[in-house]
Amino acid sequence: MKKYRPTIPFLSWMLAVDLEETRNIQNQEGSPAYGCDCDLCVEWKLLYKKIIPEKLLEAFCRVGIELQSPTDLYGSGLGSDMRTVRVTFHFIGKILSGLNGATHDDKFDYDGFPYEIIRKEPYFSLRVIPQKETFVSAPDYEAEGSSQVLCVDMRLCYPGKYLHDYRNS
């Protein structure tokens, strides 16, 4: 396996990825979702292939992110029919281009890292953002050279019936 992929298209972003370093920080002990057996984490492991739009599954694979092992996952719980969750992953590399901090939100007078809305129903949005620009938990890692710790930050919904369907399939 090549250790470095210089250009990976990932939705609106173009990324460079250090595959070996990325592999080393997947499912890191001590991350909030590591070994978590809460209801949402258990559901995620069973259902992520259905929750994530199909075209994205392959893109994640190219980046070397292990989708069954988020860095963190939290949400509205299982009380309602529609789950609303935030899921984060991390990789090591560079953002070459794409939606980034240059986007200005006039309403809030804020230079933001916007989410790209991939799907309206059920809602699915994602952004790629340098870890240092976020307040989310990250794996323990010291980036060297021009590589950075980067976060894939997703806010999304999925119907609770996915679990029902899964159990009946």
For residue 72, the minimal CB distance to Zn ion (Å) is 8
Q: Which helix (H) or strand (E) holds 159?
A: strand 148-159
Q: Which whole-number Å values give the CA distances from 53 to 16, 56, 120, 127, in the listed order?
A: 22, 6, 12, 14
- Count the neighbouring beta carbons within 10 Å of the beta carbon of residue 153: 22
Helix, strand, coil shares of the chain, percent, nearest 5, are 25, 35, 40
Q: Does 36 bind Zn ion (CB under 5 A)?
A: yes
- Give 32 or 114: the residue with its C-beta nearer to Zn ion: 32
What gap in Å lies between CA 125 and CA 156, rounded to an integer?
6
Q: Binding segment for Zn ion among 39-47, 121-129, 144-152, 157-165 (CB under 5 A)?
A: 39-47
DSSP state, residue 114: P
For residue 70, the minimal CB distance to Zn ion (Å) is 9
Q: Does 38 bind Zn ion (CB under 5 A)?
A: yes
Q: Does 47 bind Zn ion (CB under 5 A)?
A: no
User: How many separate helices (H) and strands (E) can be counted in the chain?
Assistant: 4, 9
Q: Binding segment for Zn ion among 33-41, 90-98, 106-114, 128-136 (CB under 5 A)?
A: 33-41
Q: Binding segment for Zn ion among 9-17, 32-40, 145-153, 154-162 (CB under 5 A)?
A: 32-40
- Give 36 or 136: the residue with its C-beta nearer to Zn ion: 36
Which residues form the interface with Zn ion (CB under 5 A)?
A: 36, 38, 41
